[in-house]
Structure 1
Amino acid sequence: MALYPAPVGGGELPLEELMSRLKQDGYDGTYTIEHYGSNATLEYLRKSMEWVKARL
């Protein structure tokens, strides 16, 4: 697996499946987005927020 900065949902982890399982199990807690090492931090944060909000 390559290690590189990516917006949430744009990397190697199966985040769509993980969020779906959390939702099925009744999770209603907080999701935290953190970006380190990206030259496009604000852009990645915006894309990440949109990705997560679309799946809540």
Structure 2
Amino acid sequence: MDTEGARIGPSAAHAGTTALFEEAGFHRMERTQARVDGRIRWLMRLDLSRSELRDR
């Protein structure tokens, strides 16, 4: 979910935020039809073929 920098409650954050996933190396792929508290949910993807991820 894209919080747009706003605070969110724990029930809205259970699936994670886009910022959390982006910090872990994921990228936004596309918007979904789903909303949480009116905020957009994104399909996120992690590219496992990137060399820095293989070296962990």
Alignment TM-score > 0.5, same fold: no
Per the normalisation by structure 2, the TM-score is 0.28
Per the normalisation by structure 1, the TM-score is 0.28
Structure that is richer in strand per residue: 2
Structure that is richer in helix per residue: 1
CA radius of gyration, larger in: 2
